Amino acid sequence: MKISWKAMEVVTAAATGLIGAVVCYGSLENGIAWNSSGPEPGYFPFGIGCLIMLGSVGTMVQALMKRSVAPVTASATGGEIVDDDEPFMDTRGFRTVALFFLPIVAMAAISVWLGLYIGMALYIFYAMRVSAGFRTSTSLLTAAIVVAVNFIVFEKLFMVPLLKGPILEYFGIY
Amino acid sequence: MGNFGQLMDGFAIALTTHHILIMVFGVLLGLVVGVLPGLGAPNGVSLLMPLTFTMEPISAIILLTSMYWGALFGGSTTSILFNIPGEPSSVATTFDGHPMAKQGQAVRALTLAFASAGIGALIGVLVITLMSGWVANFALRFGSPEYFAVYFLAFASFIGMAGGSPFKTLVSIMLGLAAGTIGMDTISGEGRLTFGINELTAGISFLIVVIGLFGIGELLVTIDEGYKFEGVKAKLSLREIFRTLAEMPRYWVTILRSALIGCWMGITPGGPTAASFMSYALGRRFSKRGWNFGKGEPEGIISPETADHSAGSCALLPMLALGVPGSATAAVMMGGLMIWGLSPGPMLFTSQPDFVWGLIASMYAGNLIAVVLVLATVPLFAFILRAPFSVVGPLIAIICVIGAYTVANHVFDIWLALVFGLVGYVFKKLSYPLAPFVLAVVLGDKAEDAFRQSMLSSGGTLRVFFETPLVATMMTIGIFLLLLPLITRVFGAVFNSGTKRGVA
């Protein structure tokens, strides 16, 4: 799997353009015209949506034009130094980023369900044991330390309660 | 000399034991943030923000600004020792700092960097001291058209001077403004762009945006690029430090030029990163030893460092005096001021003089503390950086998730931050500028209010933005800046074809 820079540029520009269209559509619901009390609430966002689409089209055109431009002139105009051989992302890069990001998503999901402390404990254990390859005992200890430090910093020092979740509440920790 | 008396009052507020301890704590936290790649100053300040909601505003701002100074200094440590910029603004420091460190002069490189950074910061604060009152007085005459013109000018200068693709900057700014309009409309009370999602009614906090774009996004980029820490060892010796300090006066021209560039870029929202690159480029052009740049030239360290820090501190001047922040971090702090119930802008100087001058006085003290602490902690941070990123990364991830939650105790915010993290990752790799995005989220409401109020007063014609000389001038400069990329391109094309014909 290879995603080239150009493909990524075009896809991103298309995505931002789509967001622009959604913003325009959303502001239509609030009214984009003028009434007796001045501009309606959608007036300003509608303009923003249009400018997002304008910028996206410009970005896309620039990305597509790059192919036709000879490498020498591209560097002379101070364009980004992009090696055509190196893709935006290859399978290895995708795996690395996904293996880092997905556990964070999992931690978020668990935290929403069972509370932040349980979420972070499981996540740190996973990251230490599986991703970094430490021994089980070391990983358990690190997880315990991280939870303890966060508990002291947030609950005791700064009095900012974090989400506890049903399990901790069952044990009477609010 | 009215400012001087007020500054002295400010020192009386800033130099209490309580506040000095806060400064030390803030600088240390900032150093950690600055040293660790994947954890930057805007993000660090955002993460700390929810913990300051219960503090006194002056103590809170001293904590956050001290953290900012620490982060600016910490970024240089990793640049020089590891060739890895801890902060985007210290990229230019790697060009000469790391080569010098490799030649066995690590301590000299660090001392040069920190000393010039300290001087740069102090010059920046001096500029704030001398000019902020004047700017604020001037701004007191502003009505809504003038305010809109100032915001317009800020955004236009991003497009005109940021370099890179102006379209990408435009998209970045407008996406930020769009994110800022989500939620309840302040004038009509209608929900906007919520698409029936209840969680969006309260709007998207700029803190979530920063934690996502700068925190999680940067983390993903760091993982993607696969950093390896292979550093140069630095053994601190006091004699080496003092010998280097004695060298400093020789470079006074470079320092002065770089500080001027920094102040200018900080006040106009160019930001520290752009300032450091510009200063490096100009340094190479003007230096007698320009050929040596990139090989461990002292002036190659002094130029970007001085500019970086004077820009960093000057970025707070427009934030305080006009309510228009000069950098992403300043934007975050301005959002904080509003949360603490202070409204940034010229009125702040008359309504909260203790706050303003206490803050300015604390900048002098905070930067001095930062210079000492950053030198003292070099061995400690060099040690911390030997920890593998597979351990540090997850820790930063946890901090980001907790930070997103603590902003408003909403679990929805965690998901939002993750989404913004992916956006930040893609945008960063495709070199969309992220600072304008944050600035737009913070300024969105104010810019819109100014626009709507001016339109109301004028009955709906855009002519109101060209009626008085002041507002007309600002709008014209803004439009000129918007067109600048186009102008340079046209001129470049004409100039290039001209030379080609000349050759033929």
What pLDDT sits at residue A69? 41
Q: Is pLDDT at A88 greater than 70 in this prediction?
A: yes
Question: Which structural domain range is residue B118 located in?
Answer: 2-503
Q: What are phi and psi of B74, to 5 degrees?
A: -60, -35
Which of B163, B195, B414 is closest, CB to CB, to A111?
A: B414
Q: Give chain B's domain count.
A: 1
What pLDDT sits at residue B125? 92
Strands B183-184 and B191-192: antiparallel
Q: Is pLDDT at A102 greater than 90 in this prediction?
A: yes
C-beta separation of B305 from B259 below 8 A: no
Contact state of B452 with A39 under an 8 Å Cβ cutoff: yes
Partner B, chain A 82-141, Cβ-Cβ below 8 Å: 88-89, 93, 96-97, 100-101, 103-105, 107-108, 111-112, 116, 119-120, 123-124, 127-128, 131-132
The residue written with tokens 């600088």 in the block is: B27
| Cβ partners under 8 Å of residue B357, min gap 6 | B6, B7, B9, B10, B13
The residue in chain B having the minimum alpha-carbon distance to the alpha carbon of residue A48 is B174
Ordered alpha helix ranges (H), A40-135: 43-65, 71-76, 91-114, 116-126
Among B27, B108, B18, smallest CA distance to B65 is for B27
What pLDDT sits at residue B503? 40
Partner A, chain B 352-391, Cβ-Cβ below 8 Å: 388, 390-391
Q: For residue B465, give the DSSP letter.
A: G
ipTM, two decimals, is: 0.88
10 Å Cβ neighbour count for B55?
16
Q: Which residue has the higher pLDDT, A26 or B194?
A: A26
Contact state of A104 with B175 under an 8 Å Cβ cutoff: no
Token pair belonging to B258 = 């770089």
d(CA B231, CA B80): 9
Q: Is A38 on the interface with B (CB under 8 A)?
A: yes
| Per-position pLDDT tens, chain B of length 504 | 457 788 888 888 888 889 999 999 999 999 888 887 667 788 888 888 888 888 888 999 999 999 989 988 888 887 888 777 767 778 888 888 888 888 888 888 889 999 999 999 999 999 988 888 788 888 887 888 888 888 888 888 778 766 678 899 999 999 999 998 888 887 777 788 888 788 888 888 888 898 888 888 888 988 887 766 566 666 777 788 888 888 888 888 889 999 998 898 888 766 787 788 888 888 888 888 778 888 888 888 999 999 999 998 888 888 888 888 877 888 888 888 888 888 888 888 888 888 889 999 999 999 999 999 988 888 887 777 777 778 888 988 998 898 889 888 888 999 999 999 999 999 988 989 888 888 888 888 888 888 888 887 777 777 888 888 888 888 888 898 888 888 887 887 776 665 544 443
Cα–Cα distances (Å) from B55 to A155, A173, B63, in that order, read 16, 26, 10
Q: Is B401 on the interface with A (CB under 8 A)?
A: yes
pLDDT in tens, A136-159: 999 999 999 999 988 888 887 777
Contact state of A159 with B54 under an 8 Å Cβ cutoff: yes
The residue written with tokens 């700029």 in the block is: B206
Partner B, chain A 61-80, Cβ-Cβ below 8 Å: 62, 77-78, 80
The residue in chain A having the minimum alpha-carbon distance to the alpha carbon of residue B421 is A101
The whole-angstrom distance between A123's CA and the closest CA on chain B is 8
Partner A, chain B 23-62, Cβ-Cβ below 8 Å: 50-51, 54
What pLDDT sits at residue B163? 66
d(CA B308, CA B298): 16
Helix H or strand E encompassing B361:
helix B353-376
C-beta separation of B12 from B360 below 8 A: no
Contact state of B406 with A162 under an 8 Å Cβ cutoff: yes
d(CA B131, CA B360): 12
- Chain A hits for B193, CB-CB cut-off 8 Å, are 23, 26-27, 45
Total length of chain B? 504
d(CA B282, CA A6): 33
C-beta separation of B314 from B121 below 8 A: no
Contact state of B224 with A93 under an 8 Å Cβ cutoff: yes
C-beta separation of B145 from B467 below 8 A: yes
pLDDT in tens, A36-71: 767 788 888 899 999 999 999 999 998 888 764 444
Select the residue from A158, A159, A174 to test the B interface by mutation, using most B Cβ atoms within 10 A: A158
d(CA B466, CA B474): 9
The residue written with tokens 């709507």 in the block is: B452
